[in-house]
Every structure is written in structure tokens, then in C-alpha cells.
DNA sequence: TTAAATTTTGAGACTCATTTGCATAAAACT
DNA sequence: AGTTTTATGCAAATGAGTCTCAAAATTTAA
């Protein structure tokens, strides 16, 4: 819990930026949230706890958390970007159900290995990657139509 | 060339839709373009040939081409969706350079197999998937900073 | 063929997630 | 304290994508 804060602090210091109150609140809430959240959902989550942080500040903080290696913009659903924290969270891929919107997370060590091999072959330095598949989950396949 | 047209026509007929002039033009230009294009780029490409097709019609036609299995929404760059035609184009993943924007296409039979295994395991029916990695291409790694 | 019914289109208005400008507030220096 | 620098909140701006609607094209009915 304090680990993330330290990483963020160090990152900010390295960029001559400061760990302000809003930034602290945002970091805390990002790590309290174990979903794939939108900025708006995060905004509501923070507001419910009476902390006052503006949407603009949240939008401005997302790239900082991403650069610090703590956050990932993991998918896009219904015209909205969704994020998830990644510190201490194994890399995974997403199966997204077109019918009910459920997101299934799946480990992918194998995939990662193959990806790394390909990157080596093409001399491409991967910073981050995303793999998502859309379709129908088990339950939704059963439903008629 | 006429093959795509037939597929599109058949698809439209199956949905009681018609192969109109604008839809023909859009299909032709989509298959003339071998890039990963935005709707706006396609719009310009069509307009340069004096054909008059509105942006709205292009937006409306994209999902038709996708449902017909001819087009894929393959990546998102700088807040814009990018498409590419897929009929007669092997599935592939994208390495996207953060510095110069270059897109490298890579075969992925192996990846596909693994993905299918995972889908089977979770009983998830994949409709379409996307794999993209971001980072630095060979050339950009050499550049200083 | 002509008229009515249906489908598609183009143009522009609209939406809504994200970005930006700016006046104020907080923090760091002197 | 006063001065400079940085970050914040608010509200306005932006812009990709969607939607409305009257006009055109096409189909069907007569
Ligand atoms: Mn996830
Ligand atoms: Mn491609
Ligand atoms: Zn489902
Ligand atoms: Zn490059």
C-alpha cells in the first residue's frame, strides 16, 4: 500500500513534480479499485468519500501514473477508456463479452514469451502491449438468439 | 477485386440491404487502401477522386463491412479508430512505434493457437481479437534521447 | 407509367469524453 | 512577508463519432 506511494513519489521527484494532496488521493483510490474503471467512475468513487478532486486533475494524473508504471490503460468500451492498476498485478489478457460486458482476465505467460521472441526478431523494444478478445461468454452463449 | 464486392453484396442481400453507389465506392476505396486508415483519411481519399460520399455514410458503412467480415477495426491512435481491410490479408499483430508512429505487421499463427486454447478452456466464443504492442522500433532506438 | 411506400443519403446539429485556458491556491524560495 | 513557481478547479473548447431530418433514390402497388 505504501509501496505504490513511494514509487509514485520517487517518480514525481525524478520529474521535479510534487506529491500533492489530490495526487495522493487519486493514487490511493486507484489502488483501492480492483476493476477496470473509467475516469468518471474514479471521480465518483473519490467524491463519495467527500474528497474534492476535479475531473481535470484526474485526467492530468492518469498519464503520470502510467509513466510511473503503476497504471495501464487496459481497454476501451463504449467510447470510454478504461484503466486498471498494474503494480503487483500479473499481466493478463481480457475476454470481453459483447452481450453482458463481463471481462474475464486470463494469465498469459506463454503469450508473453512468444511476443518477446517476435520483438527480438524485429528488434522492437516493447514498452507495453494489449491483447483483448471480444465475443460471447459461456453464460451468454446459452441465452437464445 | 470483384470478390470482395460479391461478398459485400451477398451480405447486404442477406440483411435486406442494398449495394448502393456510395457503398460501392466505399468498398472499392477500402480495398484500394493498404494502410491502417481513419474514417477521415478514407473520406479525403474518396473526395480526391471527386466522388461525393458523406462522412456520415462512411461511418454508417464501417460496421456493415465489419459484419461482412471484410474490415477490421485494428487499432486506435491519437484518439482515432483505425481500420484495415482483412479479406485476403493474413491475421497479424501490430508493433506500433511511439516515436515515429510506424506500424509493423507480424504474423501470429502461434499466438492464435494459444488464444484459441484459452478460449476453449474458458468456454468463451471469440468473435474477434486484437493484439498490439507499443514501444520503439529499431531505428528509433538508435536516435538519441 | 404513375403514385405511394420504403430505404438511403448528405448536411449539419448534437453528444459526450477528453483537453485546455485561466484565475486562484498552494508550495518553494529569498 | 513578498516573490516566483507549480498545481488545482472550474468552465469553456475541442473533436471523433452519432443522430436527425428533409431530400433523393429505389422498390412496390395499382
Ligand atoms: Mn484486467
Ligand atoms: Mn495491420
Ligand atoms: Zn456475457
Ligand atoms: Zn520508430
Query: Which sequence spans correspond to the domains of chain B?
Result: 2-85, 92-144
The class (CATH top level) of B92-144 is alpha beta
Q: What is the pLDDT of residues A57-83, one digit of tens each?
A: 999 999 999 999 999 999 999 999 999
Task: Considering only CA atoms, name the residue closest to the C1' of nucleotide D25.
Answer: B20
Query: Which pLDDT belongs to residue A101?
Result: 80
Instruction: Look up the CATH number of domain B2-85.
Output: 1.10.10.10
Q: What is the pLDDT of residues B46-86, one digit of tens each?
A: 999 989 999 999 999 999 999 999 999 999 989 999 999 99
pLDDT at B98 over 90: no
B/e letters for A70-83, b = 16+ CB within 10 Å, e = fewer, are bbbebbeeeeebbb
Question: Closest by alpha carbon to A26, among A37, A14, A15, A13?
Answer: A37
- Ligand 1 centroid, distance to B126 Cα (angstroms): 17
Across chain A, mean pLDDT equals: 92
pLDDT at B1 over 80: no
Average pLDDT over residues A34-50: 96
Q: pLDDT band at A108, cuts 50/70/90?
A: confident
- Ligand 2 centroid, distance to B135 Cα (angstroms): 16
Separation of CA B121 and C1' D15 in angstroms? 42
Q: Running DSSP on this structure, what letter comes out for residue A35?
A: S
Model confidence, pTM: 0.91
Partner residue facing A111 (CB), from B76, B111, B124: B111
Going by their DSSP bridges, the two strands B71-77 and A103-107 should be labelled as unpaired
Size of interface A-B (CB pairs under 8 A): 104
Question: In 10 A of CB A118, how many CB atoms?
Answer: 20
Question: Could you tell me the three cell numbers for B62?
Answer: 464501417
Query: Which pLDDT belongs to residue A1?
Result: 61
Average pLDDT over residues A101-115: 87
Residue A109 β-bridge partners:
none
| Residues 6+ positions from B111 with CB-CB distance below 8 Å | A111, A114, A115, B93, B131
- The rounded distance, in Å, linking the Cα atoms of A130 and A91 is 10
- The rounded distance, in Å, linking the Cα atoms of A105 and B10 is 37
Q: Which residues surround ligand 3, an ion (CB under 5 A)?
A: A 97, 99-100, 102, 137, 140
Which parts of the protein come within 7 Å of strand D, by CB position?
A 16-18, 20-23, 52-57, 60-61, 79; B 18, 20-21, 38-40, 55-56, 59, 79-81
Across chain B, mean pLDDT equals: 92
Question: Closest by alpha carbon to A110, among B115, B86, B31?
Answer: B115
Average pLDDT over residues A6-21: 96
* Residue found under cell 464501417: B62
Separation of CA B108 and C1' D13 in angstroms? 43
Cα B98 versus chain centre, distance: 20
Q: Which residue has the higher pLDDT, B143 or B63?
A: B63
Q: What number of CA atoms fall less than 13 Å from residue B104's CA on the CB side? A: 22
Question: Could you tell me the three cell numbers for A37?
Answer: 474503471
| Residues 6+ positions from B133 with CB-CB distance below 8 Å | A115, A119, A124, A126, A127, A128, A129, A130, B93, B94, B95, B96
| Shortest Cα–Cα distance, B23 to chain A (Å) | 25
Backbone φ, ψ for residue B79 (5° rounding): 65, 15
Query: Which pLDDT belongs to residue B2?
Result: 78
| Residues 6+ positions from A139 with CB-CB distance below 8 Å | A100, A102
Q: pLDDT band at B111, cuts 50/70/90?
A: confident
Amino acid at each position: 500500500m505504501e509501496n505504490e506511494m513511494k514509487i509514485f513519489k520517487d517518480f514525481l521527484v525524478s520529474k521535479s513534480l510534487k506529491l500533492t494532496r489530490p495526487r495522493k488521493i487519486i493514487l490511493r483510490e486507484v489502488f483501492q479499485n480492483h476493476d477496470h474503471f473509467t475516469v468518471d467512475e474514479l471521480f465518483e468513487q473519490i467524491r463519495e468519500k467527500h474528497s474534492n478532486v476535479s475531473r481535470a486533475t484526474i485526467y492530468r494524473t492518469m498519464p503520470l501514473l502510467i509513466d510511473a508504471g503503476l497504471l495501464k490503460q487496459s481497454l476501451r468500451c463504449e467510447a470510454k477508456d478504461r484503466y486498471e492498476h498494474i503494480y503487483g498485478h500479473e499481466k493478463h489478457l481480457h475476454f470481453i463479452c459483447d452481450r453482458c460486458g463481463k471481462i474475464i482476465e486470463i494469465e498469459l505467460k506463454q503469450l508473453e514469451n512468444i511476443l518477446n521472441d517476435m520483438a527480438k526478431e524485429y528488434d522492437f523494444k516493447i514498452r507495453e502491449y494489449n491483447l483483448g478478445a471480444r465475443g460471447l461468454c459461456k453464460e451468454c452463449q446459452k441465452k437464445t438468439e
